[in-house]
Amino acid sequence: MGQEGEESKPPRRLVQELRWDPILGEWVMVSNLREARPWRPRSGCPFCPGAPETGYGWDVLVLDNKFPMLVQDPPEPTRHSFYRVAPARGKCLVVVESPRHDAGDLDELGANQVYKVMKTIQSLVEKYKEEEWAIYLLYFRNKGEEIGVSLTHPHAQVYVTPFIPSKILRELENSRRYYEKNSECLFCRILRVEESDKVRVVYSSRRWLAFIPFFAHWPFEVHIYPRRHVQLFTEVSDEELEDLASVLVKVLCGLNRVFNKPMPHMMVLHQAPLKGRHEDYHLHFEIYGAYRVSGRLKYAAGMEMGGGNFTYDSTPEQAAHMLRASLQKKCIS
């Protein structure tokens, strides 16, 4: 029985490939290398100064992800008589945001350090937009054990992909349709509407607006729009970056204090693809705060994962009121 069981197992070879889902029309990244990722190692933090990969004398550090979904020289993908596959060509990077291990989130690092992080992301966009294979650069950061963060040292990730991620593709298609029909940017219109309504605005600065959108999916889902119509992160000016750093610090401060405990969340930069012209698109940040207004964790479950439509147990207006009060009371001196 033991021998038969062993023989029935698939061979253990490195698999890093893209598999096309013909039903949903999107790529799935497959990598069995990811199984080896460490979970909160006790033998020392790999991102602290002096670790084998880090050394000393840095403010923000970019490292290759040791357990990547995408690599620049991928193995040959699985051949199949029916399903479409492609090489998992790309780049997966880790952005270590500070030498400080004890900083809970970007708000504790302060605006000056967050500005340095944003400049680093800009430099990566500038670098990879010149690569012929690179179609999109997604910068994102996950925060909180509740959503699967395996290392607590402040860090983010960058995926450079040979395709446009599905959610971005939907945004591009809908913003193009809206522009063709109305001769204006959909995101610019949303910005004006949210600022006019006021009730969902969380924080307003000279160059950026932070709000929980009318159509929010996650309980504390904050969108941060630049007031100027830009598509790629490299187009954001230094003055706008400085202002963005301050806005991010304040918004994350509010999120992490609305329940007097850190808010598990994801933060993602949505920008245009690295290739082509996309003048009807408008870059922005999206933060998905995962606690409900009751303080309990929101799970993406049956309707969300099975049906694809989110449920919202309260109202974005109530969440915005709570977050705005937290920010104004605890985060603005």
Which is higher by pLDDT, 148 or 93? 93
What's the Cα-to-Cα distance from 250 to each of 73, 116, 253, 274, 298, rounded to whole Å? 41, 16, 5, 29, 23
User: Helix, strand, coil % (nearest 5) of the chain?
Assistant: 35, 20, 45
Which is higher by pLDDT, 88 or 36? 88
pLDDT bin (cut points 50, 70, 90) of residue 7 is very low
pLDDT digits over 234-249, tens only?
Answer: 999 999 999 999 999 9
Residue 86 has pLDDT above 60, yes or no: yes
Residue 165 has pLDDT above 50, yes or no: yes
pLDDT digits over 124-147, tens only?
Answer: 999 999 999 999 999 999 999 888
Starting from the edge strand earliest in sequence, which strands make up the sheet with 61-64, in order? 61-64, 91-96, 155-161, 136-143, 265-270, 284-289, 220-226, 208-211, 201-204
120 in a structural domain? yes
5 in a structural domain? no
Q: How many domains does the chain have?
A: 1
142 DSSP β-pair partners: 266
Distance, in Å, from the CA atom of 37 to the CA atom of 23, rounded to the nearest integer, reads 30
Distance, in Å, from the CA atom of 169 to the CA atom of 154, rounded to the nearest integer, reads 29
177 in a structural domain? yes
A 10 A CB-CB count for 278 gives 16
- Cβ neighbours for 192, distance < 8 A, ≥ 6 positions apart: none
6 in a structural domain? no
pLDDT digits over 274-318, tens only?
Answer: 999 999 999 999 999 999 999 999 999 999 999 999 999 999 999
Q: Is the dihedral of CA 143, 148, 153, 159 positive or negative?
A: negative
The pTM for the full model equals 0.93
Residue with tokens 């307003």: 204
39 in a structural domain? no
pLDDT bin (cut points 50, 70, 90) of residue 178 is very high
DSSP state string for 248-297: HHHHHHHHHHTTSSPPPEEEEEE---SSS--TT---EEEEEE-B-TTSPB
Provide the percentage of residues in the chain whose pLDDT is more than 70: 93
Mean local confidence (pLDDT), 248-269: 96
Provide the percentage of residues in the chain whose pLDDT is more than 90: 86
7 in a structural domain? no
- Domain of residue 261: give its range: 13-34+45-330
Q: Is 176 helix (H, G, I), strand (E, B) or coil?
A: helix
pLDDT digits over 38-83, tens only?
Answer: 556 667 899 999 999 999 999 999 999 988 999 999 999 989 999 9
232 in a structural domain? yes
The per-residue pLDDT of the chain, averaged, comes to 93
pLDDT at residue number 5 = 44
pLDDT digits over 10-47, tens only?
Answer: 456 788 999 999 999 999 999 987 665 655 666 789 99
Question: CATH number for the domain including 111?
Answer: 3.30.428.10
Nearest to 297 by CA among 194, 144, 150, 175: 144
pLDDT at residue number 2 = 40
pLDDT at residue number 125 = 98
